[in-house]
Structure formats: C-alpha cells, structure tokens
C-alpha cells in the first residue's frame, strides 16, 4: 500500500532521496503501523514531534504513547511530522 508522508522543518532530513517539496510516497506492507513507518524513515521514537494522520493530530511526542505507535495505516493515508515550537 502507498501512503504520503509530509515532513516539516527539521523532519525533512528524514525524507528518502528524490523527495520533493517535503513530501514522499512510501510503500508499506498492508497492516503497517505508525511505529513501522517511523523505523523505516529512521525517525527516533523519542524525538520530540507532532504527528498527524489525515490532518488529525495524534499527539506530541518525546513520549508518544504506545497505542498511537500501534495505529494501523491505510492505503492513501497522509502522515505529517512537525517539530514542536515553543513560545509564550
């Protein structure tokens, strides 16, 4: 199955070669999880990040809970990774 990965800010460095505009199409086996995708892309599980699947936030992580990591991805999903920002 194919999913689209969109990377923002520092996460663009994890995109595979040949990616354009911060996006890539990634082929995964049916039943692949968010954790499998992170491992495939080389993104450390504990690296702080904001993740969204099809525009729905799945949390801020350095401490993503294990149920989010087990989320099964589907054909055509769009998975986005953002760096957290500070302010105040």
Q: What is the pLDDT of residues 4-40, one digit of tens each?
A: 999 998 899 999 998 989 999 999 999 999 999 999 9
Asked whether residue 87 is assigned to any structural domain, the reply reads no
Residues 50-70, buried b or exposed e (16+ Cβ, 10 A)?
bbebeeeebeebeebeeeebe
Distance in angstroms (rounded) separating the CA atoms of residues 5 and 25 = 6
For residues 69 and 86, give the distance between their C-alpha atoms in angstroms, rounded to a whole number. Answer: 24
Per the structure, the count of domains in the chain is 1
Residue 7 belongs to domain spanning: 2-82
* CATH code, domain carrying 71: 3.10.20.30
Residue 11 lies in a domain: yes
Tokens of 3: 């999913």
Residue 52 has pLDDT above 80, yes or no: yes
In this structure, is residue 32 part of a structural domain?
A: yes
Model's pTM, two decimal places? 0.85
Nearest to 77 by CA among 2, 19, 21: 2
């Amino acid at each position: 199955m194919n999913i689209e990965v969109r990377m923002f800010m520092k996460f663009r460095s994890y995109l595979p070669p040949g990616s354009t505009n911060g996006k890539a199409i990634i082929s995964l086996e049916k039943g692949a999880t968010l954790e499998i995708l992170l491992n495939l892309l080389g993104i450390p599980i504990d690296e702080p990040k904001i993740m969204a699947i099809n525009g729905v936030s799945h949390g801020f992580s350095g401490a993503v809970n294990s149920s989010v990591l087990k989320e099964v991805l589907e054909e055509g999903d769009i998975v986005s990774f953002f760096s957290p920002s500070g302010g105040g």
